[in-house]
Chain A
Amino acid sequence: MSHTDATELLAAVQGFLRQSVLPQLEGFDAYTTRVAANSLAIVSREIAARGDILDLDREAQSRWLAPAAAESSHDEGDYSAARALSLALRDGRLQVSSEFIDYLRQRTLRQMAIDNPRYSGFKQARQRWPELAVTAGVAEPGAAG
């Protein structure tokens, strides 16, 4: 048996907040506790899926930006590729194509799946662009426990 992994700890704390703490609170404290549990759920989903977004960003960076601009950022794990693309848009160095828009849609659908899969716009976007949405399920909090 290995030690508890990070996602298991996160799921356990969420369970504690929702099942043990929340029933004892009301008003602003109850609200903030819900925000706390939701924030942990975001972290759990991000651990599972963030790499996909960074891969998409790097791929887009090498596809649409000149090599010089693409090489300028090699920080693993941050959003430097997205930033490079954004700055190129700002400065008029990037021609917006339908493929580029599809990349933005894919990226945003993935980010939304991490941040708030219940957002109304997320539902609409998945219906509108089903081929761009990820189908791989992200574990719901507690589902693994």
Chain B
Amino acid sequence: MSSEKASGGDVVTPVALADALASHGAEDENSIQDLRRLSGGANMETWAFDLVQEAVARPLILRRSPLLPGESAAAVSELPLSAEAALLPLVAEQGVPVPTVLCALSESDTLGPGYIMSRERGEALPGRILADDRYTAARRQLAWQCGETLARLHRVNLEQLPREVPNQTLSERLDGHQRLLDRFGNASPVHQLALNWLRQHAPSQRRHCLLHGDFRNGNLLVDEQGLVAVLDWELAHCGDPAEDLGYLCGNVWRFGYSDKPVGGFGDYHELLAGYREVAGWAPDMDAIHYWEVFCALGWGLVCLTMVDLYRSGADPTLERAAVGRRVSESEMDLLLLLEGRL
């Protein structure tokens, strides 16, 4: 662990932030105010602060990793932060609402690797977005807006992508899932049944594009009018455009509102209509269903990965241990999704 960079308050200081933002008008440490840590596990830290210039406060976010690339214990491959910082301007160009990246921080920077971006106003907690009266009007538009936004995102020119963005065939990804199941002991016949089904029913892939990879309620910043920004791009990869749409409809991301298949807030036809408006076509319901199955298995693998992180000692928190008991949610969803299709 000698190469591990110091985390938390030792490194993230007003002085270091002012230094990083010197070219953006930060004069000294007094320009950085209200610095606080928002969240973070072993791999990622998120900090909020204001950059104050001539009495005007600009709300910003620092996203950084206390680990060096390659040290992450995560089984799911995540984009390095430098690639994430390069990706955001590319999707913004296509009209996808995302935070504005101010500066990328490399490993050699005190604060790096990471980047600093604008802090957008809005709500990201699914419980509030789905229940508060304040978001009633937003909920009515959100599925359509998600469809439209995904269609824009899927237009990004693949040749411009940072080279770290994974670009695997579906068959390679299913092989990867099998390896993960085996690595975690393969103790769930439901997961294996689902993986077999995904292999047997793999759609012939006619289209291939950039995907967000984790486009769901919880990673969407919402205000009273609807979608404000799409967050958390670390699982971006290339693949079938229907994947992003089906993933958004996974039951686990409906947060209890199962009768609203799109994120717990909308209906399939709204999502597909929004997508069609921009793209000129939309996936069919069989494709959406396929990727809902993929999403449910993926959620199971995420839960098992968390257990692995806990057992290995890499992240010995209660949260990690407890999420291991959400594996059965994925099994339940898979059996519901596969009824009549086996």
Contacts and interface: CB of A to CB of B under 8 A. Distances in A.
Interface of A: 32, 35-36, 38-39, 42, 79, 82-83, 85-87, 89-90, 96, 101, 104-105, 108-109, 111-112, 114-116, 119-122, 124-125, 128
B190 interface: yes
7 contacts: A38-B322, A82-B189, A90-B195, A108-B331, A116-B329, A121-B258, A121-B329
Given A35-B322, A89-B193, A111-B328, A104 B335 contact: yes
A104 B191 CA distance: 11
Q: Helix, strand, loop or mixed for chain A's interface?
A: helix
Interface string B46-89: 00000000000000000000000000000000000000000000
Given A82-B187, A89-B193, A116-B325, A121 B319 contact: no
Given A83-B185, A90-B196, 9 more contacts: A83-B186, A89-B193, A90-B195, A108-B335, A109-B332, A115-B326, A115-B329, A121-B258, A128-B336
A83 B254 CA distance: 30
B110 interface: no
Given A39-B321, A89-B192, A89-B193, A119 B329 contact: yes
B251 interface: yes
A90 B185 CA distance: 12
B1 interface: no
A108 B185 contact: no
A35 B186 contact: no
B34 interface: no
B199 to A, nearest CB: 11
Contacts of B327: 115
B318 A108 contact: no
Interface of B: 178, 181-182, 185-193, 195-196, 251, 254, 256-258, 318-319, 321-322, 325-329, 331-333, 335-336, 339, 342
A124 B185 CA distance: 29
Contact of A87 (B186, B195, B331): B186
B186 A96 contact: no
A39 B318 contact: yes
Contacts of B196: 89-90
A124 B193 CA distance: 20
A96 B187 contact: no
Nearest to B182: A90
B189 A86 contact: yes
Contacts of A121: 251, 258, 329, 332-333, 336
